[in-house]
Structure 1
């Protein structure tokens, strides 16, 4: 091969290597998630699902109206969760029916944990990251 062809091939290989290294750096810098895997607040808002207000009775005859913000790990999980709204309602009604007024006042975090656990068992397109109570009224 001539000297010109060798120089062109070496130059082409160097340009390709620089492009690949540059692409890897750009993709890692522009990654949406933090180094520890935490979601940004924008992702949390984008991937969250707000349940409608649910009104049900407790075991002692008291009534409660409650609403949750459920954080998923992605767009597909949020879409699946919105389709599973009837299952969310079912889980909440069953859990709240076991509680009396005092248990409800002190055990709301247990309801959130149970909802998260049971929904994760049902989900096929992602997972539930967290459940927040955003509205509650006890009557």
Structure 2
């Protein structure tokens, strides 16, 4: 009788040790994974980016906004193409801003919504590469 109890306790302890070992192994391997998406060096980012000079326009609520942008593309060739499309960039930015009010642009969420809309429309135009990120480098409303 005592041998069966001892054998049962020994098996339970063995299973628990095995489970703890498996959990520890999984955790160690998951936390030591190299990150798959490494940020490119800053020189490559600058080379694949263009500056959009300040654009001043009216918002939907008749207020005025002045905004400057930096647009990061996926390659140097894409940045060259985008540089040739500066009139289209200005048009898209003005159109998007003319549909927004100052209240729409307030806070981080409003600016992210604006950036997402501009990025989506610019990517529809792009033939060489794509827009990866859009940065607001200057922003003033009145």
What's the TM-score, normalizing by structure 1?
0.72
CA distance in 2, matches of 1:125, 1:95: 23
Report the alpha carbon displacement of residue 52 of structure 1 after superposing the two structures with TM: 1.0
Hey, what does 1:28 align to over in structure 2? Answer: none
Structure 1: where are the runs of 5+ without partners?
Answer: 1-33
* Cα distance per residue 1:79-130 (max 9 Å; x no partner): 1001111111111111111111111213111111111111111101111110
Deviation of 1:42 (Å): 1.4
Number of equivalences:
106
Q: How does 1:75-114 map to 2 (within 5 A)?
A: 75-106=76-107, 107-114=110-117
SS at match of 1:53: strand
Give TM-score scaled by structure 2 length.
0.70
The structure number with the bigger radius of gyration is: 2
Equivalent-residue separation in structure 1 for 2:41 and 2:137 (angstroms): 20
Aligned counterparts of 1:37 and 1:81: Cα–Cα separation in 2: 24
| Aligned-pair CA distance for 1:35 | 5.9
Distance in 1 (alpha carbons) for counterparts of 2:37 and 2:102: 40
The separation in 1 between residues aligned to 2:78 and 2:128, in whole angstroms, is 5
For residues 10-31 of structure 1, give each alpha carbon's deviation from its aligned partner in whole angstroms, at most 9, with x where no partner exists.
Answer: xxxxxxxxxxxxxxxxxxxxxx
**Aligned match for 1:119, one of 118, 122, 133:** 122
Superposed displacement of residue 37, structure 1: 5.5
Moved over 4 A (4+): none
